[in-house]
Structure 1
Amino acid sequence: MKRRSLLKASLALGTYGLPLGGMLMSSACAAGGAGDHVDFDYVDVMAAGMSHAAYKGAEEKLPPTLANLTPQQYSAIRFDPQQALWRNRLSTQFFHVGMGFRQRVRMFALDKDDRAHEINFSTQLFNYSGAGVDEKAVDKAGDLGFAGFKIFNSGFGGPGDIVAFLGASYFRAVDKTGQYGLSARGLAIDPAIGGKPEEFPYFTHFWFREPAADSPTCTVYALLDSPSVTGAYQFDIDCQSERVVMTVRMKLHVRKPIERLGIAPMTSMFACGTNERQVCDTIHPQIHDSDRLSMWRGNGEWVCRPLNNPDTLQYNAFADTDPKGFGLVQTDHDFNSYQDTVDWYSRRPSLWIEPLNRWGEGSIDLAELPTTGETSDNIVAYWRPKTPAQAGDTLEYHYRLYWSALPPVSSPLASVMATRTGMGGFTEGWAPGDHFPNEWCRRFAVDFSGDALKALPANAPITPRLDVSWGEVRDLQVLPLPDNGYRVLFDWYPTSQQTDPVSMRLYIAHDDSALSETWLYQYLPPAPERRRYTR
């Protein structure tokens, strides 16, 4: 969660990788065999063997000149583009170890016969101008490995990096805007458990298969290791015209029981949006990488869950069987919604997960943590199997990740376009002025829109189906919007002094037929002493 500022600095680097130059390579492979033939099964055999041995850990003790770098100094270390891997449309550069990135990651290039050749670290691969690094001390430290890598593409809206793997098992990709946003991870272990530290698995080895000439696709194999699990991964990365698509195959070997296993985890940031704006005391109307969790459930239901920035950790689990897809989505790409010319939240991609094999019973879990600004990731979402992982288990998952402005699929029904909240207890169009309502309440406005509403006959009755877990709903209304949309408006009143979260569920219907996806929301009412209006 504290890595966002590091990523912000490191991923700002980005000169296009040129053809392979003087890259330093050897034929010694990680398993000890020179020039081993590497494929997914090879990496899986390594992972399975490691799972039967005690975890050793791999964080390196870096020389102070690297360990004590500031983000600005770390950003100044630049990989020499003349040393980039591959000569084709795609090329690869590597991140230097340093600052918070202390894990030694080993990199291997595969030749045309898929034989491995290790890419050796050398100060000759980097430009340290302006970084304040003692190069002699770095040379003396020996082979430090690398911290991660970036893949560049010459034909995707101009030269630029499109994929970055950096830190633990984190990685990110862009869409056609070239703007990074939320992160994915290889695996999450015990995230958001109060009083228990989260375990962060690491990708410790990567193998790069050279893409065909002028091809926009490549394959990367990865080995994952942690105290609780080992794993083999295959990433087939496809740089399409509008987006980056990754097909992931993963096989896990469990060392010890895991209370909360997160498959296909995503990490994002939500400071404030249209629903809650208490943190937006800035020039920016909204600040977020993602505004909702979208779910296409196994039974075909589409669900929209707007994100929150709560005062305390909130954890929700949405039970499902064989989900069809889910993701953290940035629906609003209008510059005027953010007024941001630095981080460009209007350009942030969404991330959609499409399972490719049957995932069985489990839940899509969402953790929301408090944040006071845009420098801390505070949103985590992932799939959690119903049966906790036990020592000796082998688990295999196939899925596809779409990094694009919007998910590749959408509900045939009307979609939730916006969620807004504010002061309630008065008639819309009549400002309270000096006469505030006698009772404190909260007003909600949920907007639905989509082609499904265009086929309705004129003046067709629209019925809101709303349920709340506690409290009282008053003044429930349906108001027409321009362009074949409807707004459901209602006030929620507390009926007790409790501060338990209020779970809300809403969709609109006509003649008992659902017209929209389902809106789920969790409202966190203030303490009783704060339930008053102030001028």
Structure 2
Amino acid sequence: MKSAVALAAWSGLPSAPLFAAARANDRIADGEAEPFSFQGLRERARTLATRPYRDAARALPPTLAGLTPHQYNEIGYDAEHALWHGRSDRLNIQFIHAGMGFDQPVRMHSLDPDSGQARRIHFRPELFDYDRVDVDTAQLGEDLGFAGFRVFKAPSLAEKDIVSFLGASYFRAVDGSYQYGLSARGAAVNTYADGEREEFPDFTHFWFETPAPGASRFTAYALLDSPKLAGAYRFVIDCGDDGVVMDIDSHLFPREAITQLGVAPMTSMFSCGGHQRHQCRTLHPRIHDSDRLALWRGNGEWVCRPLNNPPRVQFNTFDDTNPKGFGLLQTHRDFDDYEDVIGRYHDRPSLWVEPKGEWGDGEIQLLELPTTGETMDNVVAFWKPARPLKGGEALAFGYRLHWAARAPVRTDLARVRATLSGMGGFPEGWAPGEHYPETWAERIAVDFVGGRLKEFYDGDIDIDTQLDVSAGRVKDLHVLWVKDLDGFRILFDWYPDSDATEPVNMRLTLSAEQRVVSETWLFQYFPPPPEARRYPSSFPGHWG
């Protein structure tokens, strides 16, 4: 009763509702009080890494294991049992039910930041709403655990969540559009390592600090575990109006040598659009959660790498020392870009990683997989330390994740607006035919906007291009001012010099007055097989 009176005075709310809220939350966090600290969590992870891994996943009861995705999504949560119901007017947490493929029990705890005491929140059927799905609660048992959690923000406490942690160490957040898109992970292990099996570490425990009244920021702690790795994480999550910022401190303890550790990994989807319009088989001109990998390298260089839906698995690395930032961005943000009323890809957030401190030598690694549609995440990007990792080591990485429409930082140089490609080998505005019986070519256009480009154009200052390709020949390069964009379009035709179909790496920068004035465009082009290097036979006068 004494703590309830103190809470009422602290919050400035009427005491009677708070008594009820306190009792309700006591029922949610029903475990015994135990001391908790982040230092203690780090030591727990360090100790865990010295012991053999124990897989906690369990066979789900039939009533949950057999659920379809639609049925699983019909399991609701009783908002009256939200973690901070009655205590926070800005934020709340609801837990996600185990079921379908989510068979790793996740243990949840409520943490009082003043006393440093944590209480376990046990699974109980009364926390959930089964009205829209047939679940036999008698099969569930008392130690089922949870699958994850969702964070809600007023005025959408019972409508739209803004942060979700669900499955392995995956999590997502939204910007002001309340539309989910790409995902992040706690860690990636052997995503693309020869002879090594990829593993997906799990967040097995969470602790949630009760936020101050009126706060839109809260702190959560997590324990990570996998066969090769244990870790302790602190998330300070700021749920702003325009996006979510997560300040993350991670401490990792390998159980054994790890060939490829991915730090701050991101997972996204690129199906089609822009330079791969021909792969859009539906009515939508674009389908993607992200359209480019952006790099702000340690030496200050800005890089734009358009994403691909490649014909076969592609793995690329970008060496760096102490990167300033990197991210998977969704830069096309108009409804007309997608014409999609279901996926609403124009509303999907970008994700930018801002390293804290110096990360040393390493690589940004990018994995792109072929996909035939929008239901498969086929893009993974992360930082890989250069130094080989051995068992028994301790590593620490601090970084911020910015979930927003645009990256929180932007170069003063000219930026890549878009990359386009199509038929080449004839003057722009014409079509292939008897007047231009050129061999087959691919035309590529790169639009640069911003920076000082308008100043250079108005001042009649020459713009020079530096274009390098790893194979083939470049002809008919044009630098065109586009008034509608207030920028330059760099247009060129690429001709093959062999029958090879290996990807061609292209690099382009703009210069003026003997200095680089644009970010670096890096592109990977996939030549079609020789039998496909022909123009459509429907053009009049064209050979077929």
Structure-1 separation of matches of 2:356 and 2:95? 30
For residue 195 of structure 1, report the CA deviation from its aligned partner.
6.0
- Cα distance, 1:57 vs structure 2: 0.9
Greater displacement, 162-171 / 435-444: 435-444
1:269-280 → structure 2 map (5 Å cutoff): 269-280=269-280
* Structure 1 CA distance for aligned equivalents of residues 270 and 330 of structure 2: 10
User: 1:296 — aligned with what?
Assistant: 296
Task: Report what 1:58 is aligned to.
Answer: 56
**What is aligned with 1:133?**
135
Cα 1:338–1:230 change in 2 (3 A) is same
Whole-Å Cα distance in 2 between the matches of residues 218 and 118 of structure 1? 18
Which position in structure 2 is the counterpart of 1:73?
71
Contact 1:27 1:116 in 2 (8 A): no
Q: CA deviation at 1:532?
A: 1.8
Shift of the 192–265 alpha-carbon distance from structure 1 to 2, 3 Å rule, reads: same
Query: Aligned partner of 2:67: which letter?
Result: L
- 2:91 — aligned with what? 90
1:531, distance to aligned residue in structure 2 (A): 1.7
Q: Is the 8 A contact 1:157 1:176 kept in 2?
A: no
Superposed counterparts of 1:153-164, under 5 Å: 153-154=153-154, 160-164=160-164
Indicate the RMSD between aligned Cα atoms, in angstroms.
1.8
Identity of aligned residues (%): 52
| TM-score scaled by length of structure 1 | 0.93
484, 495, 498: which one pairs with 2:497? 495
Deviation, 1:313, is 0.6
- Structure 1 residues 18-49: Cα deviation after superposition (integer angstroms, max 9, x where no partner): 97774544565xxxxx5222221111011011
Change (3 A) 1:197 1:42: same
Task: Return the alpha-carbon distance in structure 2 between the equivalents of residues 523 and 21 of structure 1.
Answer: 62
Counterpart code for 2:42: D
Alpha carbons of structure 1 residues 160 and 175: separation in structure 2 relative to 1, 3 Å: same
Provide the residue aligned with 2:107 in structure 1.
106
Residue of 118, 121, 145 corresponding to 1:119: 121
Bigger drift between 451-460 and 301-310 goes to 451-460
User: 1:305-320 to 2 correspondence within 5 Å?
Assistant: 305-320=305-320
Partner of 1:516: 518
* Cα distance change on mapping 1:251 and 1:503 into 2, 3 Å: same
Alpha-carbon separation, structure 1, partners of 2:476 and 2:431 = 16
Contact between 1:156 and 1:241, CA under 8 Å: does it hold in 2? no
Report how far residue 180 of structure 1 moved.
0.5
Q: 1:19 to 1:371 in 2, by over 3 A?
A: farther
Distance (Å, rounded) in 2 between the aligned partners of 1:274 and 1:382: 24
CA contact (8 A) 2:83 2:93 kept: yes
Change (3 A) 1:368 1:512: same
Output the amino acid matched with 1:42. G
CA contact (8 A) 2:91 2:157 kept: no
- Secondary structure of the structure 2 residue equivalent to 1:104: coil
* C-alpha spacing 1:354/1:210, structure 2 compared with 1 (3 Å): same
In the aligned structure 1, how far is the partner of 2:285 from the partner of 2:234?
A: 40
For the residues of structure 2 that align with 1:193 and 1:429, how far apart are their CA atoms? 46
> CA separation in 2, counterparts of 1:430 and 1:202?
56
What is the identity, as a one-letter code, of the residue corresponding to 1:92? I
SS in 2 for 1:265: strand
Q: CA deviation at 1:455?
A: 2.5
Aligned to 1:479: 480
Which deviates further from its counterpart, 356-365 or 122-131? 122-131
The aligned counterpart of 2:13 is none
Corresponding letter in the other structure for 2:460: N
- In structure 2, distance between residues paired with 1:196 and 1:309: 24
Indicate the residue corresponding to 1:533 in structure 2.
535
SS at match of 1:231: strand
Which one is further off, 323-332 or 274-283?
274-283
State the partner residue of 1:470.
Answer: 471
Cα pair 1:362 1:385 within 8 Å, conserved: yes
Q: SS state of the match for residue 298, structure 1?
A: coil
5 Å-filtered alignment, 1:200-239, equals: 200-239=200-239
Instruction: Say if 1:418 and 1:446, in contact at 8 Å, map to a contact too.
Output: yes
Residues 30 and 122 of structure 2 are in contact (CA less than 8 Å); yes or no, is this contact kept in structure 1? Answer: no
Cα distance between partner residues in 2 of 1:532 and 1:38? 67
Q: 1:481 to 1:26 in 2, by over 3 A?
A: closer
Unmatched tracts of structure 1, length 5 or more:
1-17, 29-33
What amino acid sits opposite 1:376 in the alignment? M
User: SS at the partner of 1:46?
Assistant: helix
Q: Which deviates further from its counterpart, 524-533 or 432-441?
A: 432-441
CA contact (8 A) 2:451 2:518 kept: no
Q: Name the counterpart of 2:10.
A: none
CA distance in 2: counterparts of 1:437 and 1:181, whole angstroms:
45
Q: Who is 1:11 aligned against?
A: none
* Alignment partners' CA distance in 2, 1:207 and 1:247: 16
Deviation sequence 1:318-373 (CA, Å, 0-9, x none): 00000000000000110000001111001000000000021000000000000000
Mapping 1:382-401, distance limit 5 Å: 382-401=382-401
Deviation of 1:392 after TM superposition, in Å, equals 1.0
Post-superposition Cα deviations, 1:122-178, rounded to whole Å, max 9, x if no partner, equal 11111112222112212xx33100000001110589963110000000000000111
- After TM superposition, the score normalised by the length of structure 2 is 0.91
Alpha-carbon offset, residue 431 of structure 1: 2.4
State the shift of 1:279 in Å: 2.3
Aligned residue pairs: how many? 511
